[in-house]
A and B are shown apart, each in its own frame.
Chain A
Amino acid sequence: MGMTIVEKILARASGCSALSAGNVVEPAVDLAMSHENAALVINQFLEIFEGTSIEPKVWDSSKVAIVFDHRVPAESSKTATNQKKVREFVAKDRISKFHDIRGDSGGICHQILPESGYVLPGSVVVGTDSHTTSHGALGAFAFGIGATEMASVWALGTVLNVEVPETIKVNVHGSFPSFVGPKDLILHLIGKISAQGANFRVIEFHGETIRTMSTSGRLVLCNMSVEAGATSGIVPADGETIRYLRDEAGVNDPLTLVLPDNNAKYVQEIDMDVSGLEPQVACPHTVDNVKPIDRVVGTNVHQIVIGSCTNGRLDDLQVAARIIRGKKVSKNIRMLVFPASGKIYGQALERGYIADFMKAGAVVMNPGCGPCLGIHEGALADGEVALSTTNRNFKGRMGNPKSEVYLCSPAVAAASAITGVITDPRKGEN
């Protein structure tokens, strides 16, 4: 029987020659990532060792990554205290892959990991963040876990009792029309299979649309796979993966690309053609409440957000900057831009995108998760509507249960910033 990518990765990581869905394994972890919730991981980690005579130490300090992004700079003394506690732990246990609140090397974990070359094809990546699925874009098996499970990984270097997941194969064909891209594709897929359509399963992305897509676009697809419930999204590594890792992430190590067998067993196959795809919008309050843009055009908006681990990369900022350049953000709204990392912020500065945003009236914020999860900045008032390139629109997500969040691509967000209502970027003076 042939194997899917994830079956092959888990077989290698568990020391098995062959595996199939449903088998139970204990894979070795290549990278274990946390953000501010490392504070809770530390708490649980120390508790594991309580009553034993063993000194608490992470199994391999070079394989633990901690990136501050959810609340940067700290919004409260409580967060500041947690961040301090994590810094002390990082120093004591000599965690080398630590990204503090810095303009040069800081940013959102799901951008920092790829751009720093921490994620390699075929590796097993776990993170205490549900959007850890992102890293499947580089051909790794990457999935989200809770803080206690991460504490167990820190202690043992493995994930206990992992059931090998079934895989859904998604074949994507055709070329994207203008102003349509990876975000529209993944929103459309989630709308089609529902918020639980891939629960406990992996989504493997195939087809010429994926082969010609940049790593940045693949990150969007894998990032939001979790919004269909997927354990992970994964793209078979290829020439683009090698280019990204060598040229953009500075990886010199030898790379082993793990590919699925031709006779791999998939639980479901889905074919999609993007050549006729329209811009897609996920409406309140679930990510699978997806509509083509013409159904929501004209909806009043109070806040535009461009950024996040989904759409805060250079190509996203480029699309938005080109639309907004020389125009003005509508007087009735606020437009907030959050580059995904300090590196991207710098590149956007050099290319003039930041100036484009600011001259138009947008506020460019520091890299981080920003208003996405409603804890830090950019909260909404009662009755207000946000149109955002982030990944979740659950009730209360942006800090107020009496507000609404619509999700869209950077192109839709930028076009709508000018008009103040949801606007089709393919129309009008853009």
Chain B
Amino acid sequence: MATVVLKAGDDVSTDVIYPGRFMATVLPTETPQFAFADNTEFNAKLKSNQVPPGSIIVAGRNFGCGSSREQAVSTLKGYELVIVAKSFARIFLQNSVNLGLRLVEIPEIEASDADELDIGTDIVENKTTGRRFNVVPLPKTRQAIIAAGGLIPYTRKMVTERLGSTDQARNT
């Protein structure tokens, strides 16, 4: 069970999640301080450690639209937030899978600030309202990356399999 800490609407852009003026900061260890920077109240709440890992952002359609900036994912991953949305923009979804930010797609989701959600694999139950919602599963190709612990370990395995024996040749 986890609590909704932010309720957002449709088309939450990466400029809102991680404003462009902080793009010179790139490292995942440094980006969390600028999460939703222009929402000063929520940003302050995140930085004050009042938001436990697993807390939920609930949003409408097309969450994460806009830029390919990976900071928009690493900034949320830094707090281990879970994003429940009606739909996600393509690059944001892909970046989230690659970095291990948990996304839950529910076209019918209805939840408000401070609601308690029980997030299962197939079903999410809003404990506050008693309503249950079906989760749209991620494609298997994405699940394989999540199962590997993200794209870096997934690619590391490929690199080792494909290049390990030929490394000598590559270096000559």
Query: Which residues 120-172 of B have a CB within 8 angstroms of A?
Result: 139, 141-142, 144-145, 150-152, 154-156, 158-160, 162-164, 167, 170-171
Is A199 close to B, CB under 8 A?
A: yes
Q: Complex: how many Å from CA A161 to CA B38?
A: 35
Provide the residues of chain B in CB contact with A129, threshold 8 Å.
Answer: 67-68
Question: Which of A44, A196, A379 is within 8 Å of B152, CB to CB?
Answer: A44
Contacts of B170 in A (CB 8 A): 54-55, 57
Chain A residues with CB under 8 Å of B13's CB are 392, 394-395
The contact of B15 among A149, A156, A396, by CB within 8 Å, is A396
Q: Does A255 belong to the interface (CB within 8 Å)?
A: no
State whether B68 touches A145 (Cβ < 8 A).
yes
Asked if A43 contacts B27 (CB within 8 A), the reply is yes
Q: Contact at A48–B159, with CB atoms within 8 Å?
A: yes
B90 within 8 A of A: yes
B residues near A36, Cβ cutoff 8 Å? 23-24
A300 interface residue per 8 A CB criterion: no
Q: Does A339 contact B (CB under 8 A)?
A: no
Contact of A196 with B155 at beta-carbon distance under 8 Å, contacts A82-B26, A148-B99 already known: no
CA distance A332 to B145 in the complex (A): 53
Cα distance A155–B160 when bound, in Å? Answer: 11
Contact B70 A229 (CB under 8 A): no
Contact assessment for A401 and B98 in the assembled complex, using a CB-CB cutoff below 8 Å: no
Q: Are B68 and A146 in contact (CB under 8 A)?
A: yes
Contact: A151 with B160, CB < 8 Å?
no
Q: Are B38 and A149 in contact (CB under 8 A)?
A: no
Residue A152 at the B interface, CB < 8 A? yes
> Number of contact residues on A: which range applies?
35 or more
Q: Please tell me the size bucket of the interface on B.
A: 35 or more
Shortest distance in angstroms between B158's beta carbon and chain A's nearest beta carbon? 6
**CB nearest to B95 among chain A residues:** A146
Alpha-carbon distance A200/B171, docked complex (angstroms):
39
Produce 1/0 per residue, A129-165, CB < 8 A to B.
1101000000000001111110110011000110100
B106 to chain A, nearest CB (A): 16
Judging by beta carbons under 8 Å apart, are A200 and B90 in contact? yes
Could you tell me if B24 and A148 are in contact, using CB atoms closer than 8 angstroms?
Answer: no
Given contacts A43-B27, A148-B151, are A199 and B87 in contact (CB under 8 A)? yes
Cβ of A231 < 8 Å from any Cβ of B? yes
Q: Is A110 an interface residue (CB 8 A)?
A: no
- Scan residues 1-47 of chain B and give those whose CB is less than 8 A from a CB of chain A: 11, 13, 15-16, 19-27, 38
In the complex, A397 Cα to B14 Cα: how many Å? 10
Q: Are A49 and B156 in contact (CB under 8 A)?
A: yes
How far in angstroms is the closest Cβ of chain B from A222?
Answer: 16
Identify which of A50, A51, A70, A229 gathers the most chain B CB atoms within 10 Å of its CB.
Answer: A229
CA distance A149 to B171 in the complex (A): 24
A76 and B16: CB pair below 8 A?
Answer: no
Chain B residues, Cβ within 8 Å of A149: 94-95, 98, 151
Residues of chain B within 8 A of A148, CB atoms compared:
70, 95, 98-99, 150-152
B31 to chain A, nearest CB (A): 10
Contact A146:B62 (CB < 8 A) given known A156-B155, A375-B23 = no
Given contacts A48-B152, A156-B159, contact A24 B24 (CB under 8 A): no
- A394 and B139: CB pair below 8 A? no
Q: Does A374 contact B (CB under 8 A)?
A: yes
Tell whether B69 is near chain A: CB-to-CB under 8 Å: yes
Q: Does B54 contact A (CB under 8 A)?
A: no
Q: Are A163 and B16 in contact (CB under 8 A)?
A: no
- Chain B residues near A53 (CB, 8 Å)? 164, 167
Query: How far apart are A305's CB and chain B's nearest CB, in angstroms?
Result: 14
Contact A374 B151, CB 8 Å, known A148-B99, A156-B159, A286-B11: no
Residue B61 lies at the interface, judged by CB distance under 8 Å to chain A: yes
CB atoms of B90 and A156 under 8 A apart? no
Q: Is B164 touching A54 in the complex (CB atoms < 8 A)?
A: yes
A24 to B70, CA, bound (A): 24
Contacts of B142 in A (CB 8 A): 161
Q: Is B51 an interface residue (CB 8 A)?
A: no
- Pick from A53, A129, A145, A149 the residue with the most CB of B within 10 Å: A149
| Interface residue? B117 (CB, 8 A) | no
Question: Please, how many angstroms separate the alpha-carbon atoms of A128 and B95 in the complex?
Answer: 11
B15 touches A196 (CB 8 A): no
Interface digits, A245-258 against B, CB 8 Å rule (1 contact, 0 not)? 00000000000000
Q: Would B70 and A146 count as touching, CB distance under 8 A?
A: yes
Q: Is A399 an interface residue (CB 8 A)?
A: yes
Which chain A residues in 34-87 approach chain B with CB under 8 Å?
A: 36-37, 39-40, 43-44, 47-55, 57, 70-71, 75-76, 78-79, 82
Residue in chain A with minimal CB distance to B156:
A48
Interface contacts beyond A37-B26, A152-B155, A394-B15: sample of 19 additional A-B pairs, CB < 8 Å, sorted by A: A43-B27, A55-B170, A55-B171, A57-B171, A71-B24, A75-B24, A127-B68, A130-B66, A145-B68, A147-B26, A155-B159, A160-B145, A196-B87, A199-B89, A199-B90, A375-B20, A395-B13, A399-B19, A401-B19
Show 26 residue pairs from A and B whose CB-CB distance is below 8 angstroms, ordered by the A residue: A37-B26, A43-B26, A48-B155, A48-B156, A49-B156, A49-B159, A55-B171, A57-B170, A82-B26, A128-B68, A129-B67, A130-B66, A130-B67, A146-B98, A148-B151, A149-B94, A160-B151, A196-B65, A374-B20, A375-B23, A392-B13, A392-B66, A395-B13, A397-B20, A399-B20, A401-B38
